[in-house]
Structure 1
Amino acid sequence: MSDALDRVQAAVAAREAAGLRRVLRPRAASDGVLDLASNDYLGLCHDPRVTAAAADAARRWGGGATGSRLVTGTTELHCDLEDELAAFCRAPAALVFSSGYLANVGVLTALGGPDVAIVSDAGNHASLIDGCRLSGSPTTVVGHRDVAAVDAALAARDTAYALVVTDAVFSVDGDLAPLAELHAVARSHGALLVVDEAHALGVIGPHGRGGVEAVGLADEPDVVRTLVLSKSLGAQGGAVLAVPEVIDLLVNTARPFIFDTGLAPAAAGAARAALGVLAAEPERVAAVRTNAAALAGVLRDLAVETIEPDAAVVPGFLGDPRRAFAAATGCLERGVRVGCFRPPSVPPGRSCLRLTARADLRSADLDRAAGVLAATLADVGVTG
């Protein structure tokens, strides 16, 4: 056996011993399990209007985009989606990528470089972290939501240009970035603010237009937004919202855009339909936040550390990765699916259950979740 394969097997064994090994767990199309783990925040993934639009797009345009966006992968459907995303989010322009991960990597590698300092929040998503690494930019990671640290890092930089990078809603802790304050600091240093709205679109603001729009920054030319179509819109894909000059740069230099096959027509069609539902039914936005608050109340009643949620994400911190995994497994066995986040997704000692609210949860669903969580946490040694 090769030394390289020995190393692989040792790495797998080490993760198993630490309680950090992950495995794929296929789910059935309909299994009767209450879903508190997915990112389908508005309950639109199975909405008949969304699935019908996906099927219609596939029949009309085919199963795939057939090429990269600069060859054959841009259809009229993609352009319509970009126009509608920009209009809904009150952005100057939009550009659709095949995933939110690639949108983040594309933005940071196109806007970054050796002469561009990046200041990045310690709680940012892995796609932002990887984008920073691939950009070639000197990167400073600052404390979570620490505006003063951002200001100090920008003042200390020795590059001509700078980016401030943050999630709008952080994907594990579920809290909001101080976007207005970050923008003021970034502008005072001539930096661009890059905001990942993945967990904010459809959830933040009275109409779900996201964190940037909610604090009045949608028209600011020095703000670049990324978002996903795979969470509140129940489809797949990502997008960048920015001034036309930034969009033009991405089209010409962002490798994840240039060299990747365009978003599948079915996903584009589904996202357009979901965006239409969101625009027509803004009550879904308030419903998801109300349900998130109820889930947080359940955890608090069980003496589990949590937050007062700003969006749909509700963490329940259990600390030990084995305990978190056992709790998630026990919940599933009792018919409720919850997320389980362990290092490296979270820092050591912060393993947690990650509950996600949906707009279509009923009071009976919340009662069911409360009962399952109480029984399961008692089994793993967490009692209220």
Structure 2
Amino acid sequence: MARSDLLARLQDQRKLRQAQGRIRVRRSVGRRDGVRLEVGGKWLTGFCSNDYLGLSQQFEVVAALQDAAGREGAGSTASHLVCGHHVLHEQLEHEMADWLGYPRALLFDSGFMANLAVQQALLSEESDVCVQDRLNHASLLDATRLAGCRLRRYPHLDSEGAMRQLKNAADGAAMLATDGVFSMDGDVAPLRSLSLVARMQEALFYVDDAHGIGVVGEHGRGCVADAGLGVNEVPLQLATLGKALGGHGAVVLGEDSLIQHLAETARPYIYTTALPPAQAAASLAAVKLARRDHWRREKLAELIATFRDGARRNGLELMPSETPIQPLLCGDEATVMALAAALEQSGFMVGAIRPPTVPEGRARLRITLSALHTIEQVQTLVEATARARDLLAYEQSLNTAGA
């Protein structure tokens, strides 16, 4: 294909996205102060970050980052297997493994790369198969395609569907992979029944608990522990450091033999520069706080209850989530963008999520809560959302009448 043909195709694709209302726009944040952020010179109360425990600016975490940067510099200088593996990386891996009750952990630069590493290293044959929930995160789905094995998807939260897909798998290796907490819906996978399916079908069970670690279950140990499962039932799980822990990076936890295999063969681990030691120091401090500060999860639970109660009283259509991710269904792209714009005018920043991130007709405001929010801020958000919905409905009725 000639370069001019490629550019013409890209232009046509952008015109289509414009017609569908799916143009993505980056917003530059000037400053942050807790849950408040300055965007375009205006201070907004943010209800769109994944900083669920409020640790990204916590003074002990920031102090650990600054102290380590002062001693160790800005970067790790090399990959883990050359000279980039620092004692701070090792301490972070040990702390995560101890917290979540796994024999060993391996540190990655991102959850996306960690998911790719797991599947490329373990599902290397064309006859291998990865069976996944239809609403899994893009990193899990893309990892299967990039690994070169076969992808089979089952209906959301449907353990029987997972069983059927595994039964129809070929003779190669099989993996059953699921999110713990689903990032766009906020609901939790049926891990106990899925673990039984994996055991019956002799498939490796892998859980990406990016949005569960730190907030779900006793001591914030995530969905796997909350379901009463461990390394015997879930030999591999992923925990990100950039959600509830407020930093950057991810760890894969699992059986010693599996983690050793990843460390020796996973291309996204071997061929990339290690996370800066200073960032590892910050995440290490954040993990210790997440383990210690139970009040953060208690505060989150109170905020979630306040939000859902207020939404019900105001007739807002919520999805069945008891996590900090509270999606408000809007249906079409035009409605969700109009509501997000109205909320910004009222002083709130909320994520407007549209296809293809979510299915057609399922556009929603993805409202996320943090332990740093106040009850008053949550109540004011609910009231502002209800007003914006009513005003939009009134305007639409006038347009319909005028037509």
TM range (shorter): over 0.9
- Flag structure 2 segments of 5+ consecutive residues without an equivalent: 33-37, 396-403
Query: What is the CA-CA distance between 1:195 and the residue it aligns to?
Result: 0.2
Q: Does 1:164 align with 2:166?
A: no
Query: What is the CA-CA distance between 1:161 and the residue it aligns to?
Result: 2.1
Please give the secondary structure, in 2, of the residue aligned with 1:13.
Answer: helix
More off after superposition, 257-266 vs 81-90: 257-266
**Alignment check: 8 A CA contact 2:64 2:282 kept:** yes
Query: What is the CA-CA distance between 1:339 and the residue it aligns to?
Result: 1.0
Q: Does 1:7 align with 2:14?
A: no
Deviations 1:329-365 (A, max 9, x none): 2212221111111011000000000001111221111
**Alignment check: 8 A CA contact 1:67 1:262 kept:** yes
Rate the CA distance shift 1:117–1:62 in 2: closer, same or farther, 3 A. same
Q: Does 1:271 align with 2:283?
A: yes
Give the structure-2-normalised TM-score.
0.92
Amino acid at match of 1:223: P
Which of 44, 59, 65 in structure 2 is aligned with 1:54? 65
Query: What is the CA-CA distance between 1:35 and the residue it aligns to?
Result: 1.4
Instruction: Determine the structure 2 residue equivalent to 1:357.
Output: 369
Give the structure-1-normalised TM-score.
0.96
Query: What is the CA-CA distance between 1:293 and the residue it aligns to?
Result: 2.9
Query: What is the CA-CA distance between 1:132 and the residue it aligns to?
Result: 1.1
Which of 76, 79, 82 in structure 1 is aligned with 2:87? 76
- Flag structure 1 segments of 5+ consecutive residues without an equivalent: none
Query: Which runs of at least 4 in structure 1 moved beyond 4 Å after TM superposition?
Result: none
Q: Does 1:300 align with 2:312?
A: yes
**Alignment check: 8 A CA contact 1:205 1:214 kept:** yes
Pairing of 1:16-165 with structure 2 (within 5 A): 16-30=18-32, 31=38, 32-113=43-124, 114-165=126-177
Please give the secondary structure, in 2, of the residue aligned with 1:72.
Answer: helix
Which of 350, 353, 367 in structure 2 is aligned with 1:341? 353
**Alignment check: 8 A CA contact 1:64 1:264 kept:** yes
Pairing of 1:186-225 with structure 2 (within 5 A): 186-220=198-232, 222-225=234-237
Q: Does 1:328 align with 2:340?
A: yes
Q: Does 1:236 align with 2:238?
A: no
- Percent of residue pairs identical: 37
Please give the secondary structure, in 1, of the residue aligned with 2:380.
Answer: helix
Query: What is the CA-CA distance between 1:222 and the residue it aligns to?
Result: 4.7
Query: What is the CA-CA distance between 1:37 and the residue it aligns to?
Result: 0.2
**Alignment check: 8 A CA contact 1:66 1:73 kept:** yes
Pairing of 1:308-327 with structure 2 (within 5 A): 308-327=320-339
**Alignment check: 8 A CA contact 1:169 1:200 kept:** yes
Matches of 2:234 and 2:207 in 1, distance apart?
11
Deviations 1:93-122 (A, max 9, x none): 100100111111111111113232211000
- Count of equivalent residues: 383
Please give the secondary structure, in 2, of the residue aligned with 1:184.
Answer: helix
**Alignment check: 8 A CA contact 2:205 2:233 kept:** no
**Alignment check: 8 A CA contact 1:298 1:370 kept:** yes
Deviations 1:53-73 (A, max 9, x none): 111121121111111111122
Deviations 1:119-143 (A, max 9, x none): 1000100000111111211111100
Matches of 2:187 and 2:236 in 1, distance apart?
20
More off after superposition, 276-285 vs 201-210: 276-285
Please give the secondary structure, in 1, of the residue aligned with 2:82.
Answer: coil
More off after superposition, 302-311 vs 356-365: 302-311
**Alignment check: 8 A CA contact 1:289 1:357 kept:** no
Query: What is the CA-CA distance between 1:315 and the residue it aligns to?
Result: 0.3
**Alignment check: 8 A CA contact 1:206 1:286 kept:** no
